[in-house]
Amino acid sequence: MKDPSRIYRWLLLVASVVTVVYLVGAAVRENYLAQWRTVQQEYRNILREKATDDRGRELLAKFRVEMKQASIPALGTVDRCVTCHNGVDDPRMADVEQPHRTHPGHILDKHPVDRFGCTVCHHGQGAALMFREAKADDVFWDYPLFPPEMTESTCVTCHDAEKLPPDQIPLLTVGMRLYREKSCGSCHKLGGRGGALGPALDNEGAKTKHQLIMTNLRPPHTTWAWHNAHFRDPGGVVPDSLMRNPTVTRQEALALTTFMLSQWKRDVPESYLAPDKIEQKYRALHPTPLTGEQVYRQYCTACHGNGTYTRWDKKFSRFIPAIRGVSLISTATREYLQANIEQGRPGTQMPAWGPHAGGLLREEITGVIEYLRAGALAPPAMTALTLHGDGSNGLSLFLRNCGGCHGMNGRGGMAPEIGNPVFQQAAADEFILRTIRNGRIGTAMPAFQRTEAPAFSDQDTADVLAYLRTLGEAKSQKAMSQNATSGTPSGGKP
């Protein structure tokens, strides 16, 4: 019979040849053709060209083609960037092409690579030995390499940004300023201070791309691309977002993005913290209060504008009260303003700002109240109310005249929620009477007892007041029986 193993011998030959080819190929590719090896051989040529003096020749003689790394146990990093970036601390390499070029600026003077590594400032995958995986923006790595201009966002890991020279951190400086100017704190908390409509931003820099909604973004899906797009069009990036468009230029969006990425409570050993950072941490324990105007600008402007007129907000679908309107501040007492600011209006977009909620200090609240009341006029004399109000008539009057804006049961709508427990508790009868009678200048609240053609008589006003007070009782009873669900305004509820 014919040779039964002939075919197997041929198969063995072919398979063996293939095996040897691929083994040798792999050995060559992994070891001799490794990207870093080629780069280092290029660098050695450059060193040769530049070996014109003793120091140059010494460096050339000492140079070996091998893997190099900066291993920093204190920071928990092993950075192999220097395997390719050999010239990073050699000033002669300033005019050479990357990856051999010197590090720009004088950063390395105070931040030598063997003490800091590279990824603590630049992020990226430090342990990698191929550039694509070091850059890590389309591989599975949580913190890809920053674009060069955004590297300054990591300075705050060890430094107090306010104490660094602004020309060293241009984007961060602008970003910090814009955060205050655009009144981002109206809705977002930073350091425990701010509003509650949006998420707290304290660890925004620690977020990975998996924690951000990338559905409406075109690739690349990086955290900074997300922030950039979000600042230029919040509603387009986050569906159902309540955030108003901050209307920033491209450069300003970049600055704000850098500021956002700098928000990372990262634990570094104390030996790495700059003295001003340690002072900043101590200062945070005993903060200096802001002035009333500063508080207003940073925490109120986004919703209330300059406060002298009522604002129609499209996303909230309501009028936002004019809290510096002449009518309001002339009729409201300090206690009323304090209650509303400290407790907010639970169930609406107005959050609580007291020390345990919005993080404002007592002095700051007092300060902002004074700021609001600047320019208050003495209220005109009012005839004392001696009439007894009839709640049922008040109800029908309310339905016909007030409910359209203030909602059924005073639950609010376009106009403030006068059934809100904080309002009901804080507002005095006289306050409500004056408001109904005289209206509010600069807002949509009409005067119901205008002298020319009054819509209400004194009795009518008393009836409406009586009805309004029943709303407060009902709400507070309901609140007590439901174990008080106040305090967390849900975004979007009118």
Which residues would be at the binding site for other proteins (CB under 8 A)? Answer: 1, 3-5, 7-9, 11-12, 15-16, 18-19, 22-23, 25-27, 29-31, 67, 78, 80, 127-130, 133, 140-142, 208, 210-211, 213-215, 217, 219, 221
Measured from the CB atom, the residue of 17 and 94 that comes closer to other proteins is 17
Of 14 and 61, which has the nearer Cβ to other proteins? 14
Query: For the chain, what is the radius of gyration of the CA atoms?
Result: 33
Closer to other proteins by Cβ: residue 165 or 239? 239
CB of 407 to other proteins, least distance (A): 33
- What size, in residues, is the chain? 494
> What tokens were used for 218?
């075109």
Q: Within a 10 A sphere around the Cβ of 16, how many other Cβ atoms? A: 10
* Exposed e or buried b per residue across 47-60, where buried means at least 16 C-beta atoms within 10 angstroms of its C-beta: beebbeeeebeeee
Min CB(3)–other proteins separation in Å: 8
Nearer to other proteins, 65 or 405 (CB): 65
Instruction: Name which of 1 and 285 has its Cβ closer to other proteins.
Output: 1
Q: How far is the CB of 30 from other proteins (least distance, A)?
A: 5
Minimum CB separation of residue 19 from other proteins in Å reads: 5
Q: Which two tokens stand for residue 332?
A: 């409201």
Q: In the bound complex, what is the minimum distance in angstroms from residue 188's beta carbon to other proteins?
A: 21
Smallest gap from residue 24 Cβ to other proteins (A): 11
CB of 217 to other proteins, least distance (A): 7
Q: How many CB atoms lie within 10 A of CB 112?
A: 12
Our CB check for other proteins shows the closer of 219 and 380 to be 219
| Alpha helix stretches (DSSP H) within 217-333 | 223-232, 234-237, 250-261, 275-285, 292-299, 301-304, 326-331
Nearest CB to other proteins, comparing residues 120 and 323: 120
| Contacts of 289 by beta carbon, 8 Å cutoff, 6+ apart | 361, 363, 364, 367
Neighbour count for residue 400 (Cβ, 10 Å) = 10
Got the DSSP string for 447-489? Answer: -TT-SSS-SS-HHHHHHHHHHHHHHHHHHHHHHHHTT--TT-P
Can you tell me the distance from the alpha carbon of 123 to that of 437, in angstroms, rounded to the nearest whole number? Answer: 63
